[in-house]
Amino acid sequence: MLADAESLYATLQVHAQPSGFGAEIVGPDLTRPLSKAVLAEVKAAWARHSVVAFPDQPLTLDQLEAFTQAIGAFGEDPFIKPMPGHPNVLELRREPDERATNFGAGWHSDWSFQKTPPAATLLHSEVVPPVGGDTLFCDCSRAYDALSEAMKQMLSPLRAVHSATRAYGTQGVFAKETEKRTLQIITSSEADKSLTHPLVRTHPVTGRKALFISPVYTVGVEGMTAQESAAILGYLFQHMTQEEFIYRHRWRPKMLLMWDNRCTMHFAEGGYDGHLRVMHRTTVAGDVPA
Ligand code: SIN
């Protein structure tokens, strides 16, 4: 990891990943309210690196909620039962004896089927398994930048169709699941609805363009046949998930990770059957993708 230029931050140490995508932030104590200056630097580092990890942050649920709200208002988390007494916190818990696929095991940007998908997701590690359980991130801005000008022009007017149907719909994977799962998922016909967003969106803070599609929630391209959509999306998904655009996050206990759903997608890797993994998750509301 590389330290960001000293002059960029007065209050934080920001250790960027060598690619610049992803960084570790040392310095702030997230168990307490942050000063305006520190919060501004945290937001700046997050905008710059898209996925930021804060090691050694033993947050209670109340402290996780308070830090989330310092970033922005809570987002809406559908289809999953929240923690008792904490309507904005999901506990992603997988017991050692669970055989159901781990939650999040497909490339996605959180809740992109919403009219205003969350800007941020925050995930706090309570119990980290001794093997596996990494989370992979794709830099959708860099993947966009690497496309040819001709491809960028072709994609520019397109709108992608997003839906939760494949995951949470009446015929989705969770509806058909037979294995026991600790996470309480509520499948619904609501999930079968769809809406469109620009296939390429512009980040409201950085102004950078990013591919805003994912294999889990993007089910087509508006105005195209299923075959045409599959050809274009299939190519883009293969392009985006090349090694050069990926950051692999390795968890340590009591680590807080905050990612930007507007310019990344992520994938929760399994590989920890026989071990407990417990995470607490919140989201921050975003705006209409443009
Ligand atoms: C998610 O998709 O939000 C889950 C990520 C993880 O558990 O690593």
Q: Which of 123, 127, 283 to mutate to test the pocket of ligand 1 (most atoms within 8 A of CB)?
A: 123
Q: Report pLDDT digits (tens) over 238-266.
A: 999 999 999 999 999 999 999 999 999 99
Alpha-carbon distance 230 to 221, whole Å? Answer: 9
Q: Tell me, in angstroms, the distance from the centre of ligand 1 to residue 199's CA.
A: 23
Q: Whose CA is closest to 282, among 134, 117, 128, 120?
A: 120
Kindly report, residue by residue over 8-36, the tens digit of the pLDDT.
899 999 999 999 999 999 989 999 999 99
117 close to 289: Cβ distance less than 8 angstroms: yes
pLDDT, averaged across the chain = 97
**What is the structure's pLDDT at 5?**
63
Helix or strand (DSSP H, E) at 116: none
Q: Whose CA is nearest to atom 4 of ligand 1?
A: 104
Index of the ligand 1 atom closest to the CA of residue 266: 2
Any domain includes 290: no
- Pick from 109, 266, 278 the residue to mutate for probing ligand 1's pocket: most ligand atoms within 8 Å of its CB: 266
Distance (Å) from CA 135 to ligand 1 centroid: 7
Look at residue 210 and tell me if it is in a domain.
Answer: yes
Q: Which residues line ligand 1 (CB under 6 A)?
A: 92, 103-104, 123, 135, 266, 268, 279, 281
Report the pLDDT value the prediction gives residue 154, as an integer from 0 to 100: 98
pLDDT at 3: 74
Atom of ligand 1 nearest to the CA of 102: 7
**143 near 240, Cβ under 8 Å?**
yes
- For residue 37, how far is its CA from the centre of ligand 1 (angstroms)? 30
CA 63, 64, 70, 75 torsion-angle sign? negative
SS3 63: helix
Three-state secondary structure string covering 183-242: CCECCCHHHHCEEEEECEEECCCCCCEEECCCCCCEEEECCCCHHHHHHHHHHHHHHHCC
User: Among 279, 272, 265, which residue's Cα sits nearest to residue 111?
Assistant: 265
For the residues 65-73, what does the mean pLDDT come to? 98
Q: How far is the CA of 32 from the centre of ligand 1 (A)?
A: 25
CATH of the domain at 30: 3.60.130.10
Q: Could you list the residue range(s) of the whole structural domain that residue 244 is in?
A: 2-284
Ligand 1, atom 1: closest residue by C-alpha: 104
In this structure, the residue with its CA closest to atom 2 of ligand 1 is: 104
User: What is the best residue among 79, 90, 103 to mutate for testing ligand 1's pocket, by most ligand atoms within 8 Å of CB?
Assistant: 103
Q: Does residue 132 lie within any of the structural domains?
A: yes
Which pLDDT score is estimated for 118? 98
CB contact at 8 A, 238 and 104: no
Separation of CA 61 and ligand 1 centre (Å): 17
- Nearest-atom number in ligand 1 for the CA of 277 is 7
- Residue 289 inside a domain? The answer is no
* Residue 258 CA, distance from chain mean position: 8
Instruction: Specify if 141 maps to a domain.
Output: yes
Q: Measured in angstroms, how far is the CA atom of residue 122 from the centroid of ligand 1?
A: 10
DSSP for residue 141? H
Structural domains counted in the chain:
1
**pTM of the predicted protein model:** 0.97
Over residues 108-129, mean pLDDT: 98
* 26 lies in some domain: yes
Looking at the domain assignment, is residue 194 inside a domain? yes
* Smallest CA separation from ligand 1 atom 7, residue: 268
> For ligand 1, atom 5, which residue shows the shortest CA distance?
268
Secondary structure letter of residue 115 according to DSSP: S
**Residue 199 has which token pair?**
């296939």
Alpha carbons 145 and 152: distance in angstroms, whole number: 9
Whether 4 has a pLDDT exceeding 80, the answer reads no
Other CB atoms within 10 Å distance of the CB of residue 185:
18
pLDDT at 8: 83
| Residue 1 pLDDT class (50, 70, 90 cuts) | confident
Q: How far is the CA of 235 from the centre of ligand 1 (A)?
A: 24
Annotated catalytic residues are 108, 110, 266, 281
- Residue 27 region, left (φ>0) first, then alpha (ψ -120 to 50), else beta? left
pLDDT score recorded for residue 7: 66
Distance of CA 12 to the CA centre of its chain: 23
pLDDT tens per residue across span 33-49: 999 999 999 999 999 99
Does residue 45 belong to any structural domain of this protein? yes
> Across residues 109-116, what is the average pLDDT?
98
